[in-house]
Amino acid sequence: MVFLADRIHKLSYAIREFVPLARSLEEKGERVLYLNIGDPLKYDFDTPSHIKKALCEAATEGYNYYTFSEGDPELREAIALKERKWHGVDVKARNVIVTHGVSEAINFVCSVLLNRGEKALIPTPTYPLYQTYILMFGGKPVSYRCLEENGWQPDIEDIEKKIDEKTKFIVVINPNNPTGALYEEKTLKKILDIAAEHSLVVVSDEIYDGIVFEGEFKSLAKVSKDVPVIVLNGFSKTFLMTGWRLGYLYVYDPTERVEETLMEAFIKVARCRLCVTTPIQRAGVAALKGSLQHLEEMKKKLLKRRDFIYKRVNEIEGLEAVKPKAAFYIFPKISERVGIKDDREFVKKLLLEEKVLVVHGSGFGDGCKGHFRAVFLPPEEVLEEAFERIERFLKRQMK
């Protein structure tokens, strides 16, 4: 008999939950339209050729050994330079840790900062892995509201109300997944003020920093004057390298009180998994030093698709949505007049009846019931067909 650890029962990832069901429908000959996973490379986007070339050259030229656990030195320097040039953050290369995507960076943060029973504040809606990893390390995820009526901006009063003596850090996801919200600088400053008052670290997930349509993105590290910030970022979205699993975190501490302690802890954790794939790190250097033409082209395509899906969603009786300002997600609200018991059942029935796969809102936190997340990565003709099917489905469900 196999006795499983209790933590395994806490694992979930809503974004892929219904993929096995979708595949079973495809095996029966059905054509499923996937709007669930934020992977541009599943659609009509591709990794820039100079990055692919750099990977091949790295393997051919012998970069096939274990490299430093904290990351290839040239890549860490290039990441620090990127943060200075893009966001004006004076981050030191020695404070950068290269990770297997942002997912591993989230794991690192929770393993370093959380003892059993301690708390972390996470937004709702949130990226599901924050809740998962906090639970895995024996912590308690505490959700703070983001206000749909205010463009999904964080509710500052709710953050302040949720902090107690067991709170260790606050998570900010900006630009936001799943809503596409872009946080205002005044909102970020208020969060930092609360963190300073309670001597908390702030963790800022900035993976969509290069995909902004309206407004100006401000890195939390740039805004911070007296609060330690751990920034998580990576190459998956901006550089179209999703399957390469290349990310990073860095520590920015204007107080210089916890910088060294945090970095020593992160390096200890990094050593336990040896290193990130060496040839891919070399390709990461090429990505940061090469042309950004692909990013401008991607943003142009996504802006057209954003405008299309926003208009289409709000035309459908039973749906309404806030206009995304960044990333490539929309988070529609399902009317109470739709006769389905919850958003999870909505997603399952939509898949079974109309062969469209989206993600149930409650998978992004309890405060997100009655919503679903869809990507606007596919070409417009695919989005049109998908929302024709969704509209047809809703007409059958309306009370």
**CA pair distance 82, 91, nearest whole angstrom:** 10
Angle (nearest 5°) at CA 149 between 148 and 155: 65
* CB distance 309 to 376 below 8 Å: yes
* CB distance 112 to 123 below 8 Å: no
* CB distance 346 to 334 below 8 Å: yes
Per-residue pLDDT of the chain (399 residues; tens, 9 = 90+): 677 877 777 776 767 788 888 999 989 999 999 999 999 999 999 999 999 999 999 999 999 999 999 999 999 999 999 999 999 999 999 999 999 999 999 999 999 999 999 999 999 999 999 999 999 999 999 999 999 999 999 999 999 999 999 999 999 999 999 999 999 999 999 999 999 999 999 999 999 999 999 999 999 999 999 999 999 999 999 999 999 999 999 999 999 899 999 999 999 999 999 999 999 999 999 999 999 999 999 999 999 999 999 999 999 999 999 999 999 999 999 998 887 878 889 999 999 999 999 999 998 987 788 999 999 999 999 999 999 999 999 999 876
**CA pair distance 241, 280, nearest whole angstrom:** 10
Collapsing DSSP to helix, strand or coil, 147 comes out as strand
DSSP letter assigned to residue 322: P
- Amino acid (1-letter code) at residue 177: N
* CB distance 204 to 91 below 8 Å: no
Q: Which residue has the tokens 């006795």?
A: 3
**CA pair distance 152, 174, nearest whole angstrom:** 11
Beta-bridge mates of residue 252: 229
Residue 145 backbone phi and psi in degrees, to 5: -75, 145
At the fourth CATH level, which superfamily is domain 6-46+293-397?
Aspartate Aminotransferase, domain 1 (3.90.1150.10)
- Model pTM score: 0.94
* CB distance 356 to 386 below 8 Å: yes
- Cα-atom radius of gyration of the chain, to the nearest Å? 21
Tokens encoding 192: 């930092």
**CA pair distance 181, 152, nearest whole angstrom:** 6
Beta-bridge mates of residue 333: 320, 371
The CATH class of the 50-289 domain is alpha beta
How many of the other CB atoms lie within 10 Å of CB of 197? 11
**pLDDT of amino acid 18:** 82
> What are the strands, taking DSSP E only, across the chain?
33-34, 96-99, 119-124, 140-147, 153-154, 167-173, 201-205, 229-234, 247-252, 319-320, 329-330, 333-334, 356-357, 359-360, 372-375
| Domain coordinates in residue numbering, the chain | 6-46+293-397, 50-289
**pLDDT of amino acid 1:** 60
Q: Which residue has the tokens 């405008």?
A: 307
**CA pair distance 114, 68, nearest whole angstrom:** 25
Pairing outcome for strands 33-34 and 356-357 = parallel
**pLDDT of amino acid 9:** 72
Q: Is the peptide bond before 125 cis (omega within 30 degrees of 0)?
A: yes
**pLDDT of amino acid 397:** 84
Dihedral of alpha carbons 49, 97, 203, 167, sign: positive
Q: Is the peptide bond before 154 cis (omega within 30 degrees of 0)?
A: no
**CA pair distance 13, 127, nearest whole angstrom:** 9
